[in-house]
Every structure is written in structure tokens, then in C-alpha cells.
Amino acid sequence: MHNDEHICTVLEQVGEFISLDSVMVVGAACRDIHQSSFRNAEPARATGDVDLGLAVEDWGAFLALRSAFSPHSSAWQEVKIGDIAVDLVPFGPLETPPGTVVTDDGIQMNVAGFQEAFDNADLHTLSNGMQIKIPTVPGLAALKLHAWLDRYLKGNYKDAYDLALIMAWYGEPQAERLFDRFLEYREPEEIFPDDQLAAFVLGADVAVELGVEAASILHERFEREPENGIELLAKELTCRGEHSLPKDRRRAQVDSLLDGLNEGIRGMSI
């Protein structure tokens, strides 16, 4: 059973200032909740931090919540609740343009995919009985793909670890579903090896989760990436505790993921 005490602590306090119907647990806390559905062990890259997506109407609502807690660092979205570092990520009508939030002093944050992940979120019951929203597995993958593109040039590669873990979840237990989903886009004789098949179907599921417009934005971001950026994602696409694939197979996974994303978009556009 996943230890969710830190999530309970945070949401009990946040819930005093904002309806939890407008809150979505994202990031590592969401990953760890999903991990407990697929594995009996905690992820190797465990963390006690909590990231929250907040569907708010305007900056006033966000600032009122943020001011209720002490700052954790100089970052505008980070607060401390008890001894827990919490990221508060606003999204929704205050996005200008859609997919971006901009603070009063001009700091931009990419929130592409948050609204779609929120609209399709799963409900998860915490150990204290609270029901919370979390992105589905494809929704989490969508956010992690955007996060990789936002962070890798700054030397932060942690999102590749999480993407590798998500692909591992998509593996053997879902073999029949993967094959059936693949046949929605390709012929049986085109079937991929299992690791690439999981990546392809994940990409297609991400597209369906996001819808044509938002999925196309994500795909176009990868289309603009230089080759060394794609190679770096393949290099870092590993996670301890899961079967390790050689580099060429990991590159094939990345290509299959993007292929599936594109096929998912095309399938919805017909």
C-alpha cells in the first residue's frame, strides 16, 4: 500500500481554502499512486514533495491560496505546508495564451495538457477517505512529455525516468489490450516488439486523452526538437527496478511513442 500520509496532510490544509474539486495531484505523488496499482514496490525515485494543479478562475483565487502558506523557495509557485514542499500550479481561464500562465512580473510557466488531464482525471481515495483527482496514466505521460521538453535543456532529466516507468506499466499485464489498440491503427503484420508496442499504444492513448488540438501541440513540439534532444531522451529513458533495455531499443521506444502520438491524432482527424 502506497504511503500517502504526506498527500493527506497537504490536501487537508489546502482544502480549508479551496474546494478539492478544483485540485489535481500531479507529479511524483501522482506517479507513486499509480505505481501502487502496477507494482508492489515504491518507485526508486521516491520523493516526499507534492505537486498540485489548481483549476482556478483568476490570479486572485490562486494568490489567496498561496498567501495562506509560507514560501518554500524563491520560486513563485512553491510553498511549504508543515515540512512538505508543495508546488501550486494554476491553470484554466487564467492561461494567456492557452497552455501558458504568466505572473505579474512576467515569469512564464508551461501548463499545456493540464486542463485536458483535469477534464479526464481519475478519482482516487486516500487513506484518510478523501477523494482526489489524479491524471490518468496517459494524462500523466502527457504532462511528463511536456515537462521533459521544458526541463532537459536545464540539465533536469528526471521526467525521462518517469516516462520509462510509465512505459513499463504498459507492458506485459496489458498485452491483449496493447495488441487490440495497435490494430486500430496498423495491420497485424506490422506488429512491434513488446517494448515498442507499449510505447506506441501509450503515444496513441496520450493523443486520445489530449484531443486533436492539444495532442498536435505536443507532437509539434517534438517535431521541432533537434536530433540530439531526442537522442538524449532515449539515453535517459531508464528506471531502476525495471528491466533495462539497451540504448538502441530505448531509441526505438521513443520513436514508437511519437509514432503512436501521431497515429492517434490522425485517427481522431479522419
Domains of the chain, by residue range, sit at 5-135, 144-269
Q: In this model, does residue 198 exceed pLDDT 50?
A: yes
Would you place residue 101 in the very low, low, confident or very high pLDDT band (cuts 50, 70, 90)? very high
Average pLDDT of the chain to the nearest whole number:
94
d(CA 167, CA 189): 22
Residue 161: the pLDDT is 95
Would you place residue 125 in the very low, low, confident or very high pLDDT band (cuts 50, 70, 90)? very high
What pLDDT digit, counting tens, does each position of 11-26 carry? 999 999 999 999 999 9
Q: Across-strand partners of 79? A: 71, 86
Of 45-49, 117-121, 137-141, 166-170, the one with minimum mean pLDDT is 45-49
Q: In this model, does residue 73 exceed pLDDT 90?
A: no
pTM of the model: 0.94
114's CB contacts (< 8 A; 6+ apart) are 24, 26, 53, 89, 91, 143
d(CA 49, CA 269): 39
Residues constituting the chain = 270
Residue 46: the pLDDT is 62
- Architecture of 5-135 per CATH? 2-Layer Sandwich (3.30)
d(CA 71, CA 252): 42
